[in-house]
């Protein structure tokens, strides 16, 4: 049933956690009119109304509203907003997407946040073309502009910044490896970009990828994947959401077999070695202890030419096998250099069967920062993500 929405009173309840500069989203598919240009959001405090930057995004059945809860909202308290029917003259685009015909580059106030590469990679001279692929994120930038990802390093040419392949796939009774490209058993490719948007609160895209297996006579797509990447205009750091929808492409199931690494992974900048970077998980484990443990979150901080920067990865509690097992490299890796690699590996200790009748979704949030991270701060970000504030609509 669709309701009239001339003016909506929105109450945001912090719940059991302190909230600071929290990203908010509200589904308004049940409300009219469907023209988002007719509404403006205000924060209401002591009878005064203050305009708040907000952005409407289309959904399957209507629109959702996104904004940032600015400042701090203590646990157990609430904040009021008013969504008013009023001509929206806002034209600022703080969060933008640029298409350079090779990659979608998301920018925050003119500064790059990340690049999604949808064109086949260009390899270093002399490297076997078997390592070429598309559909990966690189570079990932810190707010100051430090590049925190790495692709095609000499030790692992198949590593691609932030990427999401699977190591042991069983299809039609045969085993395939789409992670280790040198085996020539398959790859992942970008198919097309289906939705690109930008505005004063959010910028993002939806990308379609295909997982292909190689046989002696031909190649075959066995699984479709859709990435939804959403970047928020928060005051500090670069905050973005990553969502992967997986669906077998044929009536045959795809079985992701248990293996020690597979799925959402990061190959960090070559600047980070054993002596200048550190890791920490939600369970209090440091780098030497992490591999094989589970974590709701993990952060990696290291020294760059432009100072200290890092990435905090948050895993959704709704993910398969959550909190997911982690695969990381210890300091002894790569001849003792101790390069940094992090992987949420949901099939590290069990199989995962995917059926073509239902999409399976994995969700993560990434916060990229300059300076240092602390366990207390990381836990606050995870609570915002896993248990967001409650939003109540009062007409």
| Whole-number Cα distances in Å, 340 to 173, 373, 385 | 35, 17, 25
CB 364 within 8 A of CB 316: yes
* Distance in angstroms (rounded) separating the CA atoms of residues 135 and 151: 12
Annotate 270-286 with b (16+ C-beta within 10 A) or e (fewer). ebbbbeebbbbbbbebe
Give the containing element (helix H, strand E) for 243.
strand 238-248
State the greatest distance between any 2 C-alpha atoms of the chain, in Å, as a whole number.
72
| Token reading at 247 | 């669906």
**Hey, what are 163's tokens?**
């990427």
Letter string b/e over residues 356-365, b meaning 16 or more CB atoms within 10 A of that residue's CB: beeebbbbbb
CA dihedral 331, 333, 338, 343 (to 10 degrees): -90
- Which residue ranges make up each domain of the chain? 3-90, 95-386
Omega of the bond leading into 168 within 30 degrees of 0 (cis): no
What CATH class has 95-386? mainly beta
Which of 345, 329, 98 is closest to 204 using CA atoms? 98
Helix residue ranges, H only, the chain: 287-290, 333-336, 375-386
Task: Extract the residue ranges of the chain whose pLDDT is less than 70.
Answer: 1-5, 32-35, 88-91
User: CB of 380 within 8 A of CB of 299?
Assistant: no
pLDDT at 2: 46
Strand order across the 162-163 sheet: 95-99, 103-108, 111-117, 136-140, 162-163, 265-267, 341-344, 326-328
Query: Residue 365 in contact with residue 230, Cβ under 8 Å?
Result: no
**What pLDDT does residue 161 have?**
98
pLDDT of residue 6: 72
Contact yes or no for 90/55 (Cβ under 8 A): no
Cβ-Cβ contacts under 8 Å for 383 (sequence gap 6 or more): 17
Q: Is the whole model's pTM more than 0.75, yes or no?
A: yes
Calculate the alpha carbon distances from 382 to 181, 328, 349, 369 in Å: 33, 20, 24, 15
DSSP H/E element including 4: strand 3-4
CATH class of 3-90: mainly beta
What are residue 329's phi and psi, to 5 degrees?
Answer: -90, 130
pLDDT at 39: 85
Nearest to residue 68, comparing CAs of 49, 84, 81?
81
């Amino acid at each position: 049933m669709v309701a009239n929405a001339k003016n909506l009173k929105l109450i945001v309840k912090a719940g059991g956690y302190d909230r600071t500069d929290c990203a908010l989203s509200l589904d308004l598919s049940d409300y009219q009119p469907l023209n988002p240009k007719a509404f403006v959001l205000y924060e209401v405090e002591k009878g005064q109304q203050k305009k708040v930057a907000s952005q409407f995004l289309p959904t399957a059945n209507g629109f959702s509203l996104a904004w940032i809860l600015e400042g701090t909202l203590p646990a157990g308290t609430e904040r009021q907003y008013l969504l008013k029917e009023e001509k929206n003259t806002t034209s600022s685009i703080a969060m933008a997407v640029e298409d350079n015909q090779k990659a979608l580059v998301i920018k925050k106030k003119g500064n790059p946040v990340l690049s999604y590469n949808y064109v086949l990679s260009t390899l270093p001279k002399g490297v076997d073309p078997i390592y070429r692929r598309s559909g990966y994120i690189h570079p990932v930038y810190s707010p100051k502009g430090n590049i925190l990802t790495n692709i095609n390093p000499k030790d692992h040419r198949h590593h691609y910044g932030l990427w999401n392949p699977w190591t042991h796939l069983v299809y039609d009774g045969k085993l395939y490896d789409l992670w280790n490209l040198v085996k020539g058993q398959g790859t992942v490719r970008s198919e097309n970009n289906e939705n690109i948007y930008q505005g004063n609160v959010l910028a993002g895209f939806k990308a379609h990828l295909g997982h292909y297996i190689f046989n002696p006579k031909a190649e075959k797509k066995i699984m479709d994947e859709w990435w939804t990447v959403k970047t928020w205009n928060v005051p500090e750091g670069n905050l973005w959401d990553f969502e992967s929808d997986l669906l077998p492409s044929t009536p045959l199931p795809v079985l992701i077999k248990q293996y020690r690494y597979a799925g959402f992974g990061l190959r960090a900048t070559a600047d980070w070695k054993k002596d200048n970077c550190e890791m920490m998980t939600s369970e209090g484990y440091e780098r030497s202890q992490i591999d094989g443990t589970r974590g709701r979150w993990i952060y990696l901080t290291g020294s760059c030419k432009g100072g200290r920067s890092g990435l905090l990865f948050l895993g959704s509690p709704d993910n398969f096998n959550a909190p997911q097992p982690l695969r990381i490299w210890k300091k002894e890796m790569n001849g003792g250099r101790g390069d940094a690699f992090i992987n949420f590996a949901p099939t590290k200790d069990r199989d995962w069967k995917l059926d073509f009748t239902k999409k399976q979704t994995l969700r993560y949030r990434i916060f990229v920062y300059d300076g240092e991270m602390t366990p207390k701060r990381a836990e606050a970000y995870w609570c915002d993500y896993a248990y967001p504030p409650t939003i109540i609509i009062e007409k």
